[in-house]
Amino acid sequence: MVSVDWGELTVSCKTWENNGVVPVKKQSAGELRLQKDITELNLPDSCNITFPNGKDDLMNFEISIKPDGGYYKDGTFLFSFEVPPIYPHDAPRVKCKTKVFHPNIDLEGNVCLNVLREDWKPVLNINTIIYGLYHLFTEPNCEDPLNHDAADMLRDHPHVFEANVRMALEGGYIGDEYFESCM
């Protein structure tokens, strides 16, 4: 369970000095829902959340994932989350900031995950997305790819795919593409 200290939420208050009202930024419904989601996160030990812009910008955060099994074991992958103001009615925009050789993540960091697209529903939450991303590393899906070369290799030549993933994790070239070490 993640414990986050959010302080007090104040919409406005009277001051003794001038008996006036001091306006304080109201939180949108999306911010309130996101605050609840983050407070209730139940992350695996191999995942971590950070707020690079500080606690005043909850709508933009990063998740790091370090799979403990599968092809991507021991790699560390950083994802940026940009949560829209009308969250949870729209899913967050998620990008992989770590260049990775993966069937479901293209070389620009776009992520193919059903709960970020057609299967998103307002009852889903940030925890659901994080577990979905984690699952992409333990069970990559070659049936719905963004990186078709990686998907074809996984399906047709799993040993070559595994060697290429290891090369990318350690830092090296796959064809003309260079991958920095993420181990």
Round the average pLDDT of the chain to a whole number and report it: 88
Model confidence at 41: pLDDT above 80: yes
Q: Which domain holds residue 139?
A: 28-179
Q: Which residue has the tokens 């899913």?
A: 91
- Among 175, 96, 101, 97, smallest CA distance to 140 is for 101
CATH number at residue 165: 3.10.110.10
Decide if 156 is inside a domain: yes
DSSP element (H, E) containing 149: helix 148-156
Q: Are residues 21 and 13 in contact, defined by beta-carbon separation less than 8 angstroms? A: yes
* 80 falls within a domain: yes
Report if residue 13 sits inside a domain: no
pLDDT per position as a tens digit, 122-145: 999 999 999 999 999 999 999 989
Provide the 3-class DSSP secondary structure of residue 60. strand
pLDDT digit string (tens) for 42-88?
A: 998 899 999 999 988 999 999 999 999 999 999 999 999 999 999 99
**Number of domains comprising the chain:** 1
pLDDT at 1 over 50: no
Longest dimension (CA), the chain: 74
pLDDT value for 24:
57
Q: Is residue 18 part of a domain?
A: no
Residue 5 lies in a domain: no
The total of other beta-carbon atoms located within 10 Å of residue 96's CB is 22
In a domain, 132, yes or no: yes
pLDDT at 148: 97
Residue 108: the pLDDT is 97
Q: Which residues are catalytic?
A: 112
pLDDT of residue 44: 87
Residues 6+ positions from 103 with CB-CB distance below 8 Å: 140, 141, 142, 145, 146, 147, 150, 151, 154
Residue 64 placed within a domain: yes
